Structure formats: C-alpha cells, structure tokens
Homo-oligomer: A and B are copies of this chain.
C-alpha cells in the first residue's frame, strides 16, 4: 500500500480498543522464573501474596498459561476516556532526518497522568474495588505512576495513599498537586506514619528519601491496614499484561495499512512500557509466525540489561518484597543524582529478563545528554515535548533511522512514546542551560550493587 495513504495519525475506532489483554508468558517456552519467598526461597504461593496484592491480580501474576484475558467492561469503559491512543507516522521526523526509514510511534501521553501508566492503574484499582477494598497504597518517585493511580482510584471512589520520595515531594510539587486534585493523600517519604519510616528517619535524620524506602512504607501500610492492598506500576507480570493494550492497539493500527515493523524499540526502566508494546509482536516471534528486531533502551547510568546480572534479587531496597529473577544491578544500587529522567529502577521485569536472556531481544544503553538532544530534535519537528524516559526510545529510533540513511534501507521502525515531559522541565532547563552531564557507573560502582544481591544455591551470577 502506498505511503501516501497513511495518515499522520492512525486512530482505531472506539470499538477496536482491545477487549482482551495478551499474556506473552503463555507463548514463552522458557517461562519467567517465579517470585521466591525470601525466607524459604520457595516460589511464592497465591496465599502468600494475598496479604500484599489483590486476589485477582495475584492470579494474573501467577498465570503463565492463558494467552488472552478478558478486559472487564468497567475497565473497557474507562479506556474509552483516553484510548485508543494514536499511532503516529513520524513524517516530520523522517523528513528532518532525510532517512528512507519509515518511523511510527505509539503515543501514550495524551492523558492527564501523562503516560502509559494509566493502563495498569485503572486495572489494579478495578480489581481492588471488586474485592471490596477501601483503598490502595503505593510509592511514587517523580509522580507519573502516583498520578495515574490517583486518577484510577478517583474513578472507582477508592482511597489512594501515595508515598512520594521526599525530595520529589518538595522539589516537584506539580504532580503532587495533580494527585491531590484527584483526591489522593500524598505523604513525603520517609514519614513518621510507618515503623520503617521512623526507623530510617532515626538512622538518617536529614534524608531526602528513596524509591526503595517509599516502597517499604507503602507495603507496610497496605499489610497493616484493614481493607488495603499495595499496588505497583511496573516490573510485575500483571503490569505487563495490562500494558499489552499498547502493543495490541499499535499492531492493529499498523495492520489496517498492511505495515509490518522491522524494528521495535522501547525504553526500559522496570519494563512496563517495553513489555506492553512488544507483547503481541513477541508473541508472533515466539510462535514462529514473524520475526522482529526488538530493542530495549536503558540509561547508561542505570544499565540493568546491558551490565546487570541475571539473578534472584530483591525488588525493593528495604528487602521486604519477594525475590524476583531478573537482570539487576543489586537492590542497593541507586543511580547518580545527576540522572534526570526516570528509568532509575535497579532491576527489570522477570518476563523481559527471560526473553532477553533467551536472545529474543536486544538492549542498548544511551547517555543522558544524547537523549535530551534527541528529545529536543523530536519536540521541534513532531510537536510533542517528550518525557525523558520516552526520549531514550527516540534516541535509539533516530540512530536506527540514520543507519538506514547510510545503507539506503527502507526499514520500518516502531517505537513507544510513553509520555510527555511537561512535568520534567527542570531537567529540560538543565539541558537548555548546557549544564547537563553524563554519568556512567564504573565497574567498581556496579560491583557494590552486585555485592548486595543475595547468595544462595542456584543464584550464582
């Protein structure tokens, strides 16, 4: 089909929004390793997970068999509020790069949470409501996930307690106010509300907090408060399941025009966006129906895939959560403060880790200033100011498109544009002022993180 007929933006019709999520684990020969109980080192059972997570979400977490799971009607209705998300043909970018490559991006930023996080937040809130819970707890760093969850909880009239890393709470008040506008309570972490918070404050009176600490507080509150559970916006299998809506929509939109991507690119922090975007394509690849080059892009300052170990590790710094087998820098690893964007997680989705380990996808690490250069170029020609996270994928997509320019190949590139950068202007300001720097951890920096990975038989790395 001729390029001329492909519009700038491909919108599916409302009745084409997926009615089932796709569970890529069902098609994986090598399933992701199960979560382990850190005490017994045995796989976590549904019963063990139930005090922390909603029942139905536990079932989804452990379900490696069903390829398709129905999206409840209430969630489908909510999806209509901001979906289908457009698949955009990057004609302006192609022209600016003078590349024969055909570039498409799935844009998930046109909702008030500003990112794809809402796709899973609404699902997790729904199952909490269905279970008759009063509310949920979570942590947030810069606030994308917390914002998405506050919107979802407001919709289902659930209480939403967000523990926000103190430095973000104070220095990034805007997303905090969006959460409050949606009725969430936002507490700077560490706080005096929890035993773990008080303990940390006693040990480090002036601490500005960390994501790991906020997770530990949110989990403590969920497990000690009647009618509450903890929810998490990335890493987990259930999150990748909900986020499959990204890839399913992108694939359906491409198929309307008979387009098959050669290369699929996504940024990777905990894996929620990448996992969602690639799911249905990876499914075809696993079933031998198609082949795609799939590239995870991570920051050079937090290089889980490219320099991490494939091992069982704690999901949180506080070491209260189960052990997950994943590419990890060690739960004690904290990226340099000069790293501006998100994607700061020390580990990675178990599902994506297994796929990467099995050679089904590639990974690349990119440096911060080059990411912002790509972001600026993209913003100027495509008109969308991208989130720093998303800009990692932009950088890799531009690099691949420029390779096509060299070779003359007309490859089709699809990447995920997870969100907008409207709440990241402090980082853009650094870039605009020319004071942004790069940071690549040394081998010995990384070794300190690896030293904290628990050692037990079968966990050699």
* Interface residues, chain A, with chain B CB atoms under 8 Å away: 7-9, 11, 13-14, 80-82, 92, 110-112, 114, 151, 154-155, 173-174, 177-178, 180-183, 376, 379-385, 420, 422-423, 425, 428-429, 431-432
Question: For the complex, what is the distance from the CA of A423 to the CA of B425, rounded to whole Å?
Answer: 10
User: Is the Cβ of B9 less than 8 Å from the Cβ of A181?
Assistant: no
Q: Most chain-B Cβ atoms within 10 A of its Cβ — which of A112, A114, A183, A376? A: A112
Partner of A8, one of B80, B177, B178, B425: B80
User: Is the Cβ of A425 less than 8 Å from the Cβ of B178?
Assistant: yes
User: Is the Cβ of A422 less than 8 Å from the Cβ of B422?
Assistant: yes
User: Is the Cβ of B382 less than 8 Å from the Cβ of A81?
Assistant: yes
Q: Most chain-B Cβ atoms within 10 A of its Cβ — which of A151, A154, A385? A: A385
Chain A contact residues, majority secondary structure: helix
Partner of A173, one of B80, B111, B429: B429
Chain B residues within an 8 Å CB radius of A379: 112, 181-182
Q: Most chain-B Cβ atoms within 10 A of its Cβ — which of A9, A173, A181, A420? A: A181
In the assembled complex, 19 residue pairs joining A and B whose CB atoms fall closer than 8 Å, in A order, are A8-B81, A81-B92, A81-B382, A82-B383, A111-B383, A112-B383, A112-B422, A155-B380, A173-B429, A174-B422, A174-B425, A178-B385, A178-B425, A180-B429, A180-B432, A181-B379, A181-B380, A181-B432, A422-B423
Chain B residues within an 8 Å CB radius of A183: 380
Question: For the complex, what is the distance from the CA of A92 to the CA of B55, rounded to whole Å?
Answer: 28
Question: For the complex, what is the distance from the CA of A8 to the CA of B110, rounded to whole Å?
Answer: 15
- Give the oligomeric copy count: 2
Report A246 CB to chain B, min CB distance, Å: 17
Knowing A14-B9, A380-B154 are in contact, say whether A385-B181 is a contact too (CB < 8 A). Answer: yes
Report A408 CB to chain B, min CB distance, Å: 26
Report A226 CB to chain B, min CB distance, Å: 26
Question: For the complex, what is the distance from the CA of A385 to the CA of B174, rounded to whole Å?
Answer: 12
Report A436 CB to chain B, min CB distance, Å: 13
Chain B residues within an 8 Å CB radius of A420: 112
Chain B residues within an 8 Å CB radius of A423: 422
User: Is the Cβ of B8 less than 8 Å from the Cβ of A11?
Assistant: no
User: Is the Cβ of B177 less than 8 Å from the Cβ of A112?
Assistant: no
Chain B residues within an 8 Å CB radius of A173: 425, 429
Chain B residues within an 8 Å CB radius of A174: 174, 422, 425
Question: For the complex, what is the distance from the CA of A173 to the CA of B427, rounded to whole Å?
Answer: 12
Q: Give the nearest-CB partner of A382 in chain B.
A: B81
Q: Give the nearest-CB partner of A179 in chain B.
A: B432
Partner of A81, one of B154, B383, B425: B383
Question: For the complex, what is the distance from the CA of A382 to the CA of B151, rounded to whole Å?
Answer: 10
Q: Most chain-B Cβ atoms within 10 A of its Cβ — which of A92, A111, A380? A: A380
Report A430 CB to chain B, min CB distance, Å: 9
User: Is the Cβ of A181 less than 8 Å from the Cβ of B428?
Assistant: yes
Chain B residues within an 8 Å CB radius of A81: 8, 92, 382-383
User: Is the Cβ of A376 less than 8 Å from the Cβ of B11?
Assistant: no
Question: For the complex, what is the distance from the CA of A376 to the CA of B181, rounded to whole Å?
Answer: 6
Question: For the complex, what is the distance from the CA of A376 to the CA of B111, rounded to whole Å?
Answer: 15
Q: A7-B80, A155-B381, A178-B425 are in contact. List 10 more A-B contacts (CB 8 A).
A: A111-B384, A112-B379, A112-B383, A112-B420, A114-B422, A154-B380, A174-B422, A177-B432, A181-B380, A182-B380
Partner of A177, one of B13, B151, B425: B425
